[in-house]
Chain A
Amino acid sequence: MKKLVLLGALALSVLSLPTFADEKPLKIGIEAAYPPFASKAPDGSIVGFDYDIGNALCAEMKVKCVWVEQEFDGLIPALKVRKIDAILSSMSITDDRKKSVDFTNKYYNTPARLVMKEGTVVSDNLSELKGKKIGVQRGSIHNRFAEEVLKPLGAEIKPYGSQNEIYLDVAAGRLDGTVADATLLQDGFLKTDSGKGFAFVGPQFTDEKYFGDGIGIAVRKGDKAELDKINAAIVAIRANGTYKQIEDKYFDFDIYGK
């Protein structure tokens, strides 16, 4: 009997939700296993750049947001069956995904960067890279970028199986530097002990031809109203400094890109 009452109450509460259209919360799907963008704090709460950006956007849109945790590969299916209304989980905007969902404009686009010995001067035309040995992860977008942009400048491109092997050889002095995703380099190398004495040098690389359109928020296909609302909110938090505040909390470089 108790159970039945509980079930009834639950059904009522669920059914009653749509009646308060204005207070319908926006359910945002996130995978909390991708630090520093989203991860679980020891007390079980979600922390990270994605989480903070999402909350800022909701505050801007004046809607109540509910975070729904989900495995990354389950996010798009959940969106399609309306278990969630948006995906804010460092999802790259790709043509394949565009077939299933609509993307807002990017809310960040981590640049690729060059890491070399601290104090190395590399100007925007990269002429200093002539004769330098640069390690890249074989098959990555950075591999292609290095082969097509850095190699013609006279840099020697060395392919590796993983970024970790590159860090070993950069630290050992076999390589003069490496090109990879800036967030990855910062957390995986520069902030570690072996990364001491090394730093980001030269410009940020954001060429769309190599590095894509960035990271966006996905909404259901054809959900134009939601899309426009979120896009406007992204512009707003970019303009009023909220974005910068959150960015500074996690990164010491411009994560939005051009």
Chain B
Amino acid sequence: MIFDYNVIWEALPLYLGGLLTTLKLLALSLLFGLLAALPLGLMRVSKQPAVNMAAWLYTYVIRGTPMLVQLFLIYYGLAQFEAVRESFLWPWLSSATFCACLAFAINTSAYTAEIIAGSLKATPNGEIEAAKAMGMSRYKMYRRILLPSALRRALPQYSNEVIMMLQTTSLASIVTLIDITGAARTVNAQYYLPFEAYITAGVFYLCLTFILVRLFKQAEGRWLSYLAPRKH
């Protein structure tokens, strides 16, 4: 059994199209996921039980159910209801791309919210005391001290989340989207060459992961260098 490069070479445009779809899905879901995660993370450190519980319930439910189940619920589940199919939301919900982005964004927002909350809770007491001593209001304290510091310290954990999300986008191929995995499945169905098809997809993901890791290392060097051990 010889590795059949020709098939992969011919299918390369399909894979590149898949790469674009994967990147689009990843970028959109990370963007909206992060936007939602910020308020959710703040709610998770709130001292008001109602606010805190609401965010806790959200992250608990989302983190407690598989991504695939959430995707099926949004894509197939919602379409079951006549009311949904006739609502103004249907033009959006009938699109596989939208459903996938929505499911991914909801999922990553829950995990990211917990990362941000954890980072906020781990803020050194001294920073808060200093801010209070300066007479900052709560709002100013969050804006100037807590959030910038917490978000920086959340970077290493968040890079894990981003890489996990990259791998998770492969689920999009189940709802008819041709991302990198979708391209591999198409090639496999066409030529019955599962090894070649999926190893190519794997190489694509590996390269993307490598790039993401480099980007985060740079970001950490830029924003976290103050935490690095002192060099003499």
Q: Which residues of A contact B (CB under 8 A)?
A: 135, 138-139, 143-144, 147, 158-161, 165, 168-169, 172-174
Among the listed B94, B174, B182, which residue makes an inter-chain contact with A172, where contact means beta carbons less than 8 Å apart? Answer: B94
B185 in contact with A165 (CB, 8 Å): no
Provide a sorted-by-A list of 16 A–B residue pairs whose CB atoms are within 8 angstroms.
Answer: A139-B188, A139-B189, A147-B190, A158-B176, A159-B178, A159-B185, A159-B186, A159-B189, A165-B76, A168-B76, A168-B79, A168-B80, A169-B79, A172-B85, A173-B94, A174-B96
Cβ contacts B68-88/A at 8 Å (1 or 0 each): 000000001001100001000
Q: Is the CB of A143 within 8 A of B79?
A: no
B85, B174, B190: the one within 8 Å of A161 (CB): B174
Contacts of A138 in B (CB 8 A): 185-186, 189
A255–B188 Cα distance when bound, in Å, is: 31
Q: Cβ of B190 and Cβ of A144 under 8 Å apart?
A: yes
Number of A-B contacts (CB under 8 A): 34
Extra A-B contacts (13), CB below 8 Å, given A139-B188, A168-B80: A135-B176, A138-B186, A139-B189, A158-B176, A159-B178, A160-B176, A165-B76, A168-B76, A169-B79, A172-B79, A172-B80, A172-B85, A174-B94
Q: What is the minimal beta-carbon distance from B99 to any residue of chain A, in angstroms?
A: 10
Complex-state Cα separation, A159 to B181, whole angstroms: 13
B interface residue count range (under 10 / 10 to 19 / 20 to 34 / 35 or more): 10 to 19
Query: From DSSP, what is the main secondary structure of chain A's interface residues?
Result: mixed
CA distance A143 to B177 in the complex (A): 15
Interface residues of B in 89-120 (CB under 8 A from A): 94, 96
Distance (whole angstroms) from the CB of A258 to the closest CB of chain B: 27
- Report if A173-B85 is in contact (Cβ < 8 Å); known contacts: A159-B185, A165-B76: yes
Distance in angstroms from B49 CB to nearest chain A CB is 40
9 pairs of A and B residues whose beta carbons are closest in the complex: A139-B189, A172-B79, A158-B176, A138-B189, A174-B94, A168-B76, A172-B85, A159-B176, A160-B176
Q: A139 contacts which chain B residues (CB < 8 A)?
A: 188-189
CB distance from A161 to the nearest CB of B (A): 7
Across-interface contacts of B79 in A (CB, < 8 A): 168-169, 172, 174
Chain A residues, Cβ within 8 Å of B190: 144, 147
Of B96, B176, B185, B188, the most chain A CB neighbours within 10 A belong to B176
Chain A contacts for B185, CB-based, 8 A: 138, 159
**CB of A239 to closest CB in B, whole Å:** 41
Q: Given the complex, which residues of A lie within 8 Å of B178, measured CB to CB?
A: 159
Contacts of A161 in B (CB 8 A): 174
Residues of B within 8 A of A143 (CB): 189
CB distance from A24 to the nearest CB of B (A): 44
Q: B189: which A residues are within 8 A, CB to CB?
A: 138-139, 143, 159
Q: Which residue of B lies closest to A144 (CB)?
A: B190
Of chain B, the residue at the smallest CB distance from A139 is B189
- Considering only CB atoms, which chain B residue lies closest to A169 in the complex? B79
Please name all residues of chain B whose beta carbon is closer than 8 Å to the beta carbon of A158 when the two chains form the complex: 176
How far in angstroms is the closest Cβ of chain A from B204? Answer: 19
In the bound complex, CA of A165 to CA of B176 (Å): 10
Q: Give the Cβ gap from A163 to chain B, nearest Cβ, in Å.
A: 14
Residues of B within 8 A of A144 (CB): 190
A144 CA / B174 CA spacing, docked (Å) = 19
Separation of A173 and B49 alpha carbons in the complex (Å) = 43
Interface centre among A147, A160, A161, A172 (most CB of B within 10 A): A172
A138, A159, A173, A174: most-surrounded residue (chain B CB, <10 A): A174
